[in-house]
Structure 1
Amino acid sequence: MSSLIQALSVALDNRQALLAELHQQGTDCYRLFHGSQEGASGLTIDRYGPQLLVQSFHTRLERDDLLALHAHITAHLGVDLLLVYNDRSQGNSRIDREDTVYQADAEALQDLIGHEWGLNYRVRGRHPGQDPLLFLDLRNTRGWVKQHSQGKSVLNLFAYTCGVGLSAAAGGAKEVCNLDFAEGNLAVGKENGALNPELPTMQFIQSDYFPAIRQLAGLPITQRRGHKLPPYVRLEQRQYDLVLLDPPAWAKSAFGTVDLLRDYQSLLKPALLATADNGVLICCNNLAKVSMEDWREQVLRCATKLGRPVRDWQIMTPAADFPSQDQQPPLKTLILQL
């Protein structure tokens, strides 16, 4: 048995209780191997419903190793999952679409459906973006939102494919607004909504974060010196009962720069103002180099200075399929009671 198969065997054994619990919850989307913490840095193996998605970020897998992983997981789970391998070890972490190691079957690349917390999600092994359509490490937070959304207005910022919004709708939210800059992301969010026809209709706003959140917060939209602002969606000032702020690590637009390392406050302040009194703001930071303790203090201090002090807070950690040896997972999530 190769060292990689040995490491995978240990990972699968460690997940046995978790997978039984997830299956009972109506979830078949989860991480089976988290290589950076389980013996093969740069390798991830995820199940998305009927699909097995293997991705390498540092070193390309050999075909025999890939097929051996697939066979071992099939035997362990008792399910023959459709294999898709994306090698992202080359320049700029783009997906290698040449399939030099393994050519996925056409069936594996079709539009499929995965499940989480009893909800249906669109699954695609390949699409115009780089990342899977559902970030699995946020599953616990989506579950929390589903449990705490009854009768609330919910604003999902940097919504991506709207998993948090879908969870809120399933939890009985009276209103759900998903906001994201990318039309393609929101298109998948609309697909997710259509895959759950029993849920109420959600709202989708395609907009850059800064003009949208500053209007909602009642703040002016400033322009850079010498630069004319491009058109933007007009919104009325208002607050929501529950707000989710899950920005990317870095992004730049004509309206501002998203920089989680150097300037989280510029994202946080208007989100705080757009959260109602006695409301909840859920903040995320996915930078591994930022410690939870330092970031938490920064967030709490910013809220106090803005006159929106936090009454209570809790940390939401990823589930056991995302182990962290130092108890400092890259994704950090704070649930703030204002």
Structure 2
Amino acid sequence: MNDISATPVNVDALTAALQAALSARKHLLDQRHEMPLRLFNGFYEGFPNLVVDLYGRTLVLYNYAHKPSDADDALEAASEFFQYALPWLSAILVKARHGALEEEKKGRLLWGSGIDRRVRENGVAYAVDLRLNQDASFYLDTRHLREWAKDNLEGKTVLNTFAYTGSIGVAARAGGASRVVQLDLSRTFLNVAKESCTINGFPIDRLDYLAGDFFPRVSHLKRDGARFDCVFVDPPLYSKTRGGKVDLIEENHRILNKVRPLINDGGWLVTINNALFVSGGEYWQMLDSLCADGYLSVEATIPVPQDFIGFSETPAGVLPADPAPFNHATKIAILRVRRKDAMAKADTE
């Protein structure tokens, strides 16, 4: 793949790549211009320091160059291309992953005004704060998981751990979940989840928004005898707090075992691992080991949307680790849970 931080960008080649990527995704653009999409993934489509996402009418350009100024030509070319190709755009933000200032990482306005504050996906509205963090407050790679949550959790109780801005929990609520508990370390992030519920007309119970460390919060739920029909676990790659450590490379299984006692018999444990250097084979082996006792079984895997990765019309890059049997480094699996006490009771009846 070309490296736009190491050599001057070939503007004509980049423009051609952007055109090919947009053409492959044209069928996904909705008429109301509300659907969030990835329009260009340079890691897979030839220019690894540029990623382009669309949130409503706001375009977000991610600059991954280690020296951000090295990508200036690419950013200018991308901005000009999309202003022409998508004349209904209202604003363009640039986020520099290696920016010296926090403002550069969270996003500066490159063009336009009126940055979008909400998007709509699969009939559900979501609040977004595109300058909230280094990302854009809404994960595009879990679109199909939100669809699964909406389609499968009617009447169910749900715990969404490491919820961030709560989009998966909001999708579950939109599908008729009877209760959704959102758990995240940051109250600021959970406030975005509340805003999403408000714009959809969902009632808000402040007791269902748990701000705090995952480890003591989960322990407290266990002590209270809390049970859920579905628990989502989407932790960061690595974090360490006074309560415990999250390590998706070496100790992913510990987090999953931590929440298993909270899940009703016949319920689901949904696990997401986005560690780029953990292969799909390694992750599957970890899941196999968890299922060895017979109380967990892999029911399904959820693919990452094709627009997030790139289409066959565009050249694919090479990942640090092969994600197969998953289609991306964001590896999503749905596990069916059996409880030892329930199975023992069934054996005696």
Same fold by TM-score, threshold 0.5 exceeded?
yes
The one-letter code of the counterpart of 1:318 is V
- C-alpha deviation, 1:24, in angstroms: 7.6
| Alignment of 1:114 onto 2:151 | no
Aligned CA distance change for structure 1 residues 195 and 57 (closer, same or farther; 3 Å): same
Q: Given the two structures, how large is their TM-score scaled by the length of structure 2?
A: 0.81
| Alignment of 1:213 onto 2:223 | no
Q: Given the two structures, how large is their TM-score scaled by the length of structure 1?
A: 0.83
Q: Which residue is 2:332 aligned to?
A: 333
* Residue correspondence of structure 1 range 1-338 to structure 2 within 5 A: 2-17=12-27, 19-20=28-29, 23=30, 28-58=35-65, 59-60=67-68, 63=72, 65-90=74-99, 94-96=102-104, 103-108=110-115, 112-127=117-132, 129-197=133-201, 199-201=202-204, 203-217=208-222, 236-305=224-293, 308-310=295-297, 312-323=298-309, 325=316, 328=323, 329-338=328-337
Distance 1:332 1:255 in 2: 26
Q: Any conservation in 2 of the 1:287–1:330 contact (CA below 8 Å)?
A: yes
Please give the secondary structure, in 2, of the residue aligned with 1:141.
helix
Aligned CA distance change for structure 1 residues 302 and 123 (closer, same or farther; 3 Å): same
Distance 2:91 2:139 in 1: 19
- Alignment RMSD, CA only? 2.5
Aligned CA distance change for structure 1 residues 67 and 90 (closer, same or farther; 3 Å): closer
Give the unaligned 5+ runs of structure 1. 219-235
Q: Any conservation in 1 of the 2:185–2:213 contact (CA below 8 Å)?
A: yes
Please give the secondary structure, in 2, of the residue aligned with 1:178.
strand
Please give the secondary structure, in 1, of the residue aligned with 2:257.
helix
Distance 1:38 1:256 in 2: 38
Deviations 1:48-107 (A, max 9, x none): 01210111112536555434323322443452241111222335x95526989x645453
Q: Percent identity?
A: 29
Bigger relative contact order, structure 1 or 2, given CA contacts below 8 A and separation 6+? 2
Q: Any conservation in 1 of the 2:107–2:131 contact (CA below 8 Å)?
A: no
Give the unaligned 5+ runs of structure 2. 1-10, 311-315, 338-349
Task: Name whichever structure is richer in helix by fraction.
Answer: 2
Aligned CA distance change for structure 1 residues 239 and 336 (closer, same or farther; 3 Å): same
The one-letter code of the counterpart of 2:141 is D
Deviations 1:22-66 (A, max 9, x none): x38995101000110001102110000121011111253655543
- C-alpha deviation, 1:332, in angstroms: 0.5
Q: Any conservation in 1 of the 2:49–2:71 contact (CA below 8 Å)?
A: no
Aligned length, in residue pairs: 310
